[in-house]
Each structure stands twice: as structure tokens, then as C-alpha cells.
Amino acid sequence: MTPQRPLLRTMIDNCLAKGNPQRIGLGLLLLLVAVGCSRGQSLTCIPDNNEAKSQTASTQESADPFANVQVNVGVDGSGSMFGYVGKPGGRYSSTIDALSTLFGSKGLKVNYWRLGANDKTKAPQPITANQFLLARTPGFYCNGENAPFECVSSTLGQMYELPTPPKPPGTTEAENLSILITDLEPDSGAVTSLTTKLSAILRDKPNYKVLLLGLRSEYNGPVYPAQEKAFKEFYYSTAGRSIDEEGRPFYLLISGPSPAVDGLVSALRQLPMDASKAFRAVEFSGQAAKPLLIDPAASLQAQPSSCLSEVASLSGSGPKNRDEWLLVRADSRCQDNPLPVTLVSQESVQFVGANLPPEAIAINDASKTLRAPQVKVQKVSAERGRLRLDLAVRQDGTSRGGPLTLAVDRRSLNEALWKDWNSTVTNPAGPRTQNLMLFIGGMETAVQQQDQPAAKFCFGFQPAPGVSKQSLTFPNLFAGLITSSQQLSDRLFPGGLRVGWP
């Protein structure tokens, strides 16, 4: 049964106004009936019509993300890459070693290619696994006496024009995991060609994604203009400089089935590479990308005080998908107003180094009937791939609490991640990549994801008892009864009984 809410409220108000004990008792009874008979709304974080919701169904992650996957690795063989191996060792060489080790440990089928073109060579050159290891040496880039390879200019589009081997009869066609290793400095026309090829892959393969992983490395060599004659080539050396801050960037442009891309990046991060503080990542998907969500367990552990407890619902309103929400209640020890609260996201390589300004977070109500708490974002930081929001939450207003969402703007995220990595052809710099933002912006426009949030924190809060100011004795009594009834209903009915009225 569902009572008519305006009539119920009118009857209780009349009981309070006349002060008759019997009438007050009737009002209390009606209130308890309302608690027991009415149901709250379902709180939604990610809308049902969001295609990203079903993305996991399309990828169908298996126990082995590399099952039935053919790996193609292409190395940019142009002269602009020589500086990464101008001196032995370094992060670039360590990455070559790490990939080789990873492929061997996983038993993956790998084809290797040297990319580039000259007057005689127009197609990518197949190389062996041992020749791939020569990418750690100057000769791979046509430098030094008796270099084993020809000099070529950068033609990154070759990576997506590789010949397709015939499929043996009775076998399933393998998925393609492509890894392009490059300094990513094509001219503007080549940027357009590259984004066109990648976006076509994402359209044709809904379960694929593209991830750009950038790393800073030691460098001793020439820097060439991405656009001919835009500037005179110059020599750049990282000797005596901080590699984390002034190393020259190189990139792994990874495309393929989402589980395989994620599995590759996860495995790389486990290897002993000295680059944990010096890499960035951005992901592109042909489907509406599901935003990164809150991690309830990590958030509860990160609280500045221990007086918050997780609840199943707020005023009887429960989440449609429990894993997407963090709902908390402050106990009587939490009298600070505003109260400091910390939210922590799920882990993602895309959030390493993402120190966003507070204004990059958009705050919106998540309920039509419950009043959202007043929240101010004090600080945004990134710790080991988790985004952390430090909030100040106002406790005055309503004692019933309410939900809200905090969304991370994707454009602001890209600006925070890549602003110190990007340069133009008219303003080159050794620690920066020419036309980088042109490529990233072009990809996001091509797959139409620039207006989608990169992360979404779905959060509900109920103030501590006694903090909300009430002016009348009986309303105070009712507020306490509502709070107590809600606590009982949250424990007995996790799906969410509703307490009180809008």
C-alpha cells in the first residue's frame, strides 16, 4: 500500500498544531506506516541507456586476456629515434627488454616490424625477435659505421597496413594486438592519417580500444622538425637533468581487444622498470567509454576520521547497482561542519600524474526527491593510478541526507596530464612532443568521446545526529524518529525502504 503523501503530511501537521496527545500518537502511527509501506527511488549512477554499461559483455573477458591474440610490434626506425639509444641503457632500452621478456613469459605469438620508408622501401620491414632487440642500438636507426639497416623517414601509418597472414582451415581468426613504438612526431597531415586509421579500427571492432602510453627517457641526439623547415634541427641531451621532468618522451601506441590491452599494460607495470613516475596514458574507445568509478573500500580506508559508516540506502533510496555507489552516515562523533571526506577512484593507468584543479570536477544532484549535501572539492590528487578527491561536506540543512555525483571532465584531465609534454612545430623543446595534443584531440573527436566524463564518483551522505538545526521540539522528535527508523530500515531492508517524505 502507498499512502497519499500530501494528505499524510497534512494530518501530521494538524496533530502538531493542536497539541492533542492522542492526535500526536496518531501522527506517530501514521509516520510509522509511511516508513513501512512506501518505497524509495532507485539511485542511478551510470544510466541504463549508456552503451558503456554493456561494454564488458561485448569484451567477454576470459581468464587469459591473450587467448587467440596475435601480437604485432612495430618500431619507428627513423633517425629521430636515435637519441634514445645515443648512450647505452636508459628507459627506452629497458622498455624494449621489458616487452621482449613479457612476450616470452606469456608465450605469445609475435610478429616484429621495422617501420619507415625511403626511395626504395615503401612497406614495413619484417624483422626477427633478435633484430627487435637491436632497437636498443644506434645501428637500428641507421647510425654509425656498417649500420645493419637503411635510413628511413617516419611513416607510422604502416603499422595499420600490415599484411594479413592466411587463416589455417578450421581455425578461428586471431584478434590483433598492435604495439607501435615511436616518438610520435609526424607532421599534421600524418596525424590526420593516423587518427583516421585508428578510428576506423575502433568502428569496425566494437570490443577494441586504443591506449597511448607515454614515457620519459634519457636522450642524447638530434631533434628534427615534424613539419619540414619549421625550425632547424637541434641537439638535446638529458645529461644532468631530471629524467622524470625533462626526459624526452617516447610512446607505446597500443590497440586491440580491451582485455588484451589492459592485460599488457598491467603486466608492464609489474616489471622492474624505473619509469613509474614518468609515464602518462590516455585511452580511446569506439563505444561510449564507461567512466572510472568510485572504490568504496579504498574510500572508507582513506577517510581522515573513523566516524563514517557505510549504509545500504539513504532515506530508503538504494542504488540500482551497489558497486557504483558509496553511501555513508556520519555518527555522533562527526560534529565538524564542514566535515572532511575523502573519495578514491578505481585504479587506472590513465590517472597516473593526474593532478587536476578542483574546478575540473562537476557536481550534480543524483535524486529528484532527496536533497544532495553541499560539497566543496578542496583538492584533487593522483596516487598510483587512483584519483583522490578531498571534500568539505556541509552537515546543516537536512538530517535525511542525499546523493550526488562528481564527474571528472575529460578535457581538463587531458590538459592536466599532457600540458608539459606537448609543443607545437613553431615552439619545439627537447622534453616535449610536437603536435601531441593535435593527435589526442583528433582521436577524441574521431571517436566522439571528448564530452564524456573520464570518471564519475557517485556518493551519498547523511549528517551526524544533532548537527542539523531544528527550531521546534516536536519536529526535533520527528527528525530523531526518522533517523532512527531509517537506521533500522537500512539494516533490515538493504533494498531500501523510504523514511519520511520529500
Q: What is the pLDDT of residue 191?
A: 81
81/250 Cα distance (integer angstroms): 9
Q: What is the pLDDT of residue 481?
A: 46
Mean pLDDT of 476-496: 45
Mean pLDDT of 239-260: 95
Q: Which 3-state string (H, E, C) describes 203-246?
A: HHCCCEEEEEEEEEECCEEEECCCCCCCCCCEEEECCCCCHHHH
Q: Which band of pLDDT confidence, cut at 50, 70 and 90, is reported for residue 266?
A: confident
Read off the pTM.
0.81
75/380 Cα distance (integer angstroms): 36
- Using the predicted structure, report yes or no on whether residue 3 has a pLDDT greater than 50: no
Q: Three cell numbers at 109?
A: 605469438
pLDDT in tens, 104-123: 999 999 999 999 999 988 89
Query: Side chain identity at 408, as an amino acid letter?
Result: V
Percent of the chain whose pLDDT exceeds 70 = 79
Instruction: List the chain domain ranges.
Output: 65-163+174-286+415-446, 293-409+455-492
Mean pLDDT, the chain, rounded, equals 82
Q: What is the pLDDT of residue 8?
A: 44
DSSP string, 89-145: -SHHHHHHHHHHHHHHHHT-EEEEEEE-B-SS--SPEEE-HHHHHGGGSGGGGT-ST
284/439 Cα distance (integer angstroms): 12
- Lowest-pLDDT choice from 154-158, 189-193, 369-373: 189-193
Q: What is the pLDDT of residue 159?
A: 94
- Measured at the CA of 461, the angle between CA 458 and CA 464, to 5 degrees, comes to 165
pLDDT in tens, 387-406: 999 999 998 766 678 999 99
- Using the predicted structure, report yes or no on whether residue 468 has a pLDDT greater than 90: no
419/361 Cα distance (integer angstroms): 18
Yes or no: say if 455 and 410 are a contact pair by the CB < 8 Å rule: no
Q: Which band of pLDDT confidence, cut at 50, 70 and 90, is reported for residue 1?
A: very low
**Nearest to 458, CA basis, from 399, 407, 394:** 407
What contacts 375, CB < 8 A, 6 or more positions away?
Answer: 363, 391, 392, 393, 394, 404, 406, 461
Q: What is the pLDDT of residue 18?
A: 52
Yes or no: say if 262 and 252 are a contact pair by the CB < 8 Å rule: no
**Nearest to 179, CA basis, from 115, 128, 253, 250:** 253
Q: Cα dist. 155→74, 76, 220, 391, 439 in Å?
A: 11, 8, 23, 47, 15
What contacts 276, CB < 8 A, 6 or more positions away?
Answer: 269, 352
362/377 Cα distance (integer angstroms): 10
**Paired residues of 330 in beta bridges:** 308
310/172 Cα distance (integer angstroms): 47
pLDDT in tens, 69-97: 999 999 999 999 999 998 888 999 999 99
Mean pLDDT of 458-462: 94
Q: What is the pLDDT of residue 204?
A: 92
94/329 Cα distance (integer angstroms): 48
- Using the predicted structure, report yes or no on whether residue 446 has a pLDDT greater than 80: yes
Indicate the burial class of 74 (C-beta count within 10 angstroms; 0-12, 13-18, 19 or more): buried
**Nearest to 93, CA basis, from 56, 62, 45, 136:** 136
- Using the predicted structure, report yes or no on whether residue 482 has a pLDDT greater than 90: no
Q: What is the pLDDT of residue 53?
A: 40
pLDDT in tens, 268-278: 887 766 555 57
- Using the predicted structure, report yes or no on whether residue 255 has a pLDDT greater than 50: yes
pLDDT in tens, 153-173: 888 999 999 988 777 777 788
99/105 Cα distance (integer angstroms): 10
Mean pLDDT of 12-21: 52
Yes or no: say if 449 and 197 are a contact pair by the CB < 8 Å rule: no
9/321 Cα distance (integer angstroms): 31
Query: How many CA atoms lie within 13 Å of 326's alpha carbon, on the beta-carbon side?
Result: 25
- Give the H or E element holding residue 257: strand 248-257
Q: What is the pLDDT of residue 369?
A: 82
Between residues 199 and 368, the one the model is more confident about = 199
- Lowest-pLDDT choice from 46-50, 181-185, 300-304, 340-344: 46-50
- Using the predicted structure, report yes or no on whether residue 471 has a pLDDT greater than 80: no
Yes or no: say if 454 and 409 are a contact pair by the CB < 8 Å rule: yes
Between residues 148 and 7, the one the model is more confident about = 148
How far the first Cα of the chain sits from its last, in Å, is 18
Q: Which band of pLDDT confidence, cut at 50, 70 and 90, is reported for residue 499?
A: very low
For the chain, helix (H) and strand (E) counts, in that order, are: 12, 22
Q: What is the pLDDT of residue 476?
A: 40
Mean pLDDT of 332-355: 90
- Using the predicted structure, report yes or no on whether residue 32 has a pLDDT greater than 50: no
Indicate the burial class of 332 (C-beta count within 10 angstroms; 0-12, 13-18, 19 or more): exposed
Q: Which SS3 state, helix, strand or coil, does residue 478 take?
A: helix
Q: Which band of pLDDT confidence, cut at 50, 70 and 90, is reported for residue 354?
A: confident
Q: What is the pLDDT of residue 275?
A: 54
Q: Cα dist. 223→117, 231, 250, 305 in Å?
A: 19, 10, 13, 51
Looking at residue 452, the DSSP 8-state letter turns out to be S
Between residues 4 and 414, the one the model is more confident about = 414
What contacts 17, CB < 8 A, 6 or more positions away?
Answer: none
Q: Which band of pLDDT confidence, cut at 50, 70 and 90, is reported for residue 20?
A: low
Q: Which band of pLDDT confidence, cut at 50, 70 and 90, is reported for residue 28?
A: very low
